[in-house]
Amino acid sequence: MNNENGSAIVLALVILAVLTIIGISASTTSTVELKIVRNEKIHNQNFYYAEAGVYEGAQRIEQESNPEVQLIAGTTGYDWLNDNSIDFSTPANWQDLGPASGNVNDNSDPAVVDPTASIAANAKGVRPGSSLDMGSTRLYEYSVFGLSQWNGGRSIIEIGYLKRF
């Protein structure tokens, strides 16, 4: 029985070490959770800005008052409306040198909703099979893109859009 002297101190130190490990683990978990929440916020913000940009592009197409000239890729004066040769799903293909720069490499515009968002569209031409009657209007097909790059994140959204004129 005399050999048990100091065993309470050893037991207390073991319990203290276990509690310290649990505390450090909880602190690390909290730090990781905060990073996850921050990344989710950045992703959501980029997604919503890109979505707003893509809808702004669709709205620009829909509200165009002179579609026969402005919504055909070869005759348009808009930087953001391109022929179908640019792959906007790749961020490196986005080029915006400012509003109305007139630069031939300019292929997108900043969105009105937020300066971190950009819009672009590809005019695909007349939708196949949509104008079998020569006297009717034609259905034109577009791919509209929204891009947002905010706080180290990036989101690109593409929608298809049809307009008859």
pLDDT tens digit string along 36-63?
999 999 999 999 999 999 999 999 999 9
Query: Rounded to an integer, what distance in angstroms lies between the CA atom of residue 1 and that of residue 127?
Result: 95
* Structure tokens that stand for 20 in this block: 């310290």
* Whether the predicted pLDDT of 2 surpasses 70: no
> Taking the alpha carbons of 51, 110, 60, 140 in that order, is the dihedral positive or negative?
negative
Mean pLDDT of 95-111: 71
Residue 154, beta-bridge partner list: 149
Residue 136 pLDDT class (50, 70, 90 cuts): confident
> Please, are residues 47 and 147 in contact by the beta-carbon 8 Å criterion?
no
Mark out the alpha helices in 63-145 (DSSP H runs).
67-70
The SS3 assignment for 69 reads helix
CA nearest 162: which of 132, 142, 148, 135? 142
* Whether the predicted pLDDT of 98 surpasses 70: no
Query: Rounded to an integer, what distance in angstroms lies between the CA atom of residue 147 and that of residue 124?
Result: 20
CA nearest 159: which of 71, 68, 45, 59? 59
* Whether the predicted pLDDT of 80 surpasses 80: yes
